[in-house]
Structure 1
């Protein structure tokens, strides 16, 4: 009785720390290849001759892949194993970044689809891995996981343009350079693969009944709406700021600021959410914070930095809550995997309409006011759905 789990020898704890680091490094790769397009979008449009609608489709393409390919993640996991599927996703991410280094519009779209497919697998399976292997530290690990995602987005938004300028890189090479981060994750994941595999269990077992669950649909719709506004604003915010007179590097740094303040929400929200049986007020409060930030962007020119910081806090907190709902509203890793697949399949298909619609509305109106007001209105149903999904229930 004198021996406790906290007294495990160092040799036993190190593999767990290695696996945790592998998860974090994978998570850091879930946004840079997508977010890096935004600060470069003006140059891409000029070089490739893309309209606002076509550019909107480019930014929506990876998000559409997140949704359409999410159902393949549990299937691949059942067939070849959770860890091997994640390793394949990292390799595909490297390949997609390499394809985008080719100076051709076709390669840009093909590589972007490959990047979206790779990230789709990680989006679905990493939360189930956390649920399985860190069952007693789910809140902390979900916080670190979503924090790492925001950190990757902040890094890409802030340094893509400055590094490209300093190194004299064209936009296609600037996009491709993020493959180096994915290569690092592959190298780290290879030894971790053997450690994780020994932990046993599977997150890929088939679970039925989710598509008939009202609660599952509420989690799914919440995921979709918060993602739609996030990816729409992330895709076009630099263009909005450039239209107000900011240069592209500063606009990228503003986008990075949103991700940096979002790290706070990413870290705090899962820990707080896991401590309470209901998360209804948390969901409504998060939507209100994001709405205040976007309203400031629209109505208070000259205070963009403050408004964007508030917006980033609210939007990233909403993403963290959406991911945490997948663990809270399910009972084990298999259910988390299936709920994650459903929420991201439908949710990201909904989300893909955000960047496309915002670009199309800009083409129709010739200004950013109407698209931004539409995004602002989306926070109302997001708050309502978050309130419903925050009830103390499980999906099946």
Structure 2
């Protein structure tokens, strides 16, 4: 039975468990930002070191992503995702409750386990929803954003009621539930089809394809601005007089409006001649929001909403480009691994650079100027990556 036939043979409920996995891929990361000042106080860490803590999952993404396709080909995508969810659950507890060393080790393991889902879920979507890739990607991103938003808004209340350790560890329970829902898929895992490109085109390593580098650049830059804001938006706002609890609400709005942005952009991305318009539409709000935080910080809640709309749309645009630029399941897996390895390595510099600049300058203005410049670069790369180079291969929505 081919993978597509296997997907049709599954019940819609089993097929849709991919979206529950998506729900588990961000809470362990986005719960950190609102309680980062408390972690710094308890562990006696400065802003630069806290920036490194926020960056470690991204470095783990970059290190793990290139080898995920090998693990997948050997054990199957379903089993790889199942094991990664279990590791994510255990790592969430390790990070919170095993002391200073566990804080760092658990953070690395969390990043490595999430990397598996980051790489493989877009391939699962392309396989199981072959006729609706952009729409399925939008729903997938909505679940990612929803989980991230929930973790952001509940982190401070849980930390107030108990401590920051529980505010982070509680999301391991969601990973366990996702693993249990995913378990039926592991009973009859389907291997990826042979690595033969569509239309009998000769295989060329994605590392040698200019379009693959453009997609990777777009993925990396949108991730850079996302993790800058997830990690430091509360601190940026606190420096302008916003309360800690309000920053948690603003981070929730950032994530929540990302859901709206993610669900809106597929209409542009699914049409080959509109993909440039999609990448531009996704990138502009990020630039506007960063400039707004710099020039009109009193409207930070507005800029959080605008940034959220852009980030949600940009993530869907990046993942859709990964899915439609790959000419086969095998190439899509390789492209996903490349885009997320190099892209997240680029993104990993974001929180550290932001924290360093804040320490050196005594404020956040320089950071916002630098990252606004990077958002301009994202816009330019998005225009190039949105070129319709394989229109004949774009799945119909």
Number of residues paired by the alignment? 380
Q: Where does residue 192 of structure 2 map in the other structure? A: 202
Q: Where does residue 346 of structure 2 map in the other structure? A: 350
Q: CA deviation at 1:13?
A: 7.5
After superposition, give the CA deviation of every residue in 1:270-329 in whole Å (9 maximum; x if it has no partner).
343112344112212322121112222221132211121011111221111001100111
Q: Where does residue 191 of structure 1 map in the other structure? A: 184
Aligned equivalents of 1:348, 1:289: Cα separation in 2: 21
Aligned equivalents of 2:105, 2:140: Cα separation in 1: 28
Q: Where does residue 118 of structure 1 map in the other structure? A: 113
Q: Where does residue 165 of structure 2 map in the other structure? A: 172
2:78 and 2:185 in contact (8 A); partners too: no
Q: CA deviation at 1:76?
A: 0.3
1:203 and 1:337 in contact (8 A); partners too: no
Aligned equivalents of 1:106, 1:204: Cα separation in 2: 42
Q: CA deviation at 1:14?
A: 9.0
1:33 and 1:178 in contact (8 A); partners too: yes
Aligned equivalents of 1:84, 1:35: Cα separation in 2: 26
2:206 and 2:212 in contact (8 A); partners too: yes
Label 1:387 to 1:44 Cα distance change in 2 as closer, same or farther (>3 A): same
- 5+ residue gaps, structure 2, are 1-6, 197-202
1:333 aligns to 2:320 (yes or no):
no
1:378 aligns to 2:374 (yes or no):
yes
Q: Where does residue 199 of structure 2 map in the other structure? A: none
Q: Where does residue 300 of structure 1 map in the other structure? A: 296
After superposition, give the CA deviation of every residue in 1:204-239 in whole Å (9 maximum; x if it has no partner).
849642111111111011111111111012100011
Please say which of residues 117-126 and 305-314 is displaced more in the overlay.
Answer: 305-314
Q: Where does residue 30 of structure 1 map in the other structure? A: 25
1:100 aligns to 2:95 (yes or no):
yes
1:77 and 1:203 in contact (8 A); partners too: no
Aligned equivalents of 1:140, 1:281: Cα separation in 2: 17
Q: CA deviation at 1:131?
A: 0.5
1:134 aligns to 2:124 (yes or no):
no
Aligned equivalents of 1:100, 1:367: Cα separation in 2: 29
Aligned equivalents of 2:93, 2:113: Cα separation in 1: 13
1:303 aligned counterpart, secondary structure: helix
Q: CA deviation at 1:163?
A: 2.3
Aligned equivalents of 1:350, 1:21: Cα separation in 2: 32
Please say which of residues 282-291 and 177-186 is displaced more in the overlay.
Answer: 282-291
Aligned equivalents of 2:211, 2:8: Cα separation in 1: 37
1:135 aligned counterpart, secondary structure: coil
2:48 and 2:359 in contact (8 A); partners too: yes
- 5+ residue gaps, structure 1, are 1-11
2:194 and 2:330 in contact (8 A); partners too: yes
Q: CA deviation at 1:78?
A: 0.8
TM-score by length of 1: 0.92
1:136 aligned counterpart, secondary structure: coil
Q: Where does residue 275 of structure 1 map in the other structure? A: 271
Q: Where does residue 251 of structure 1 map in the other structure? A: 247
1:265 and 1:316 in contact (8 A); partners too: yes
1:323 aligns to 2:316 (yes or no):
no
Q: Where does residue 238 of structure 1 map in the other structure? A: 234
Q: Where does residue 162 of structure 1 map in the other structure? A: 157
1:101 and 1:176 in contact (8 A); partners too: yes
TM-score by length of 2: 0.91
Q: Where does residue 3 of structure 2 map in the other structure? A: none
Q: CA deviation at 1:332?
A: 2.5
After superposition, give the CA deviation of every residue in 1:175-197 in whole Å (9 maximum; x if it has no partner).
111101111101111123336x3
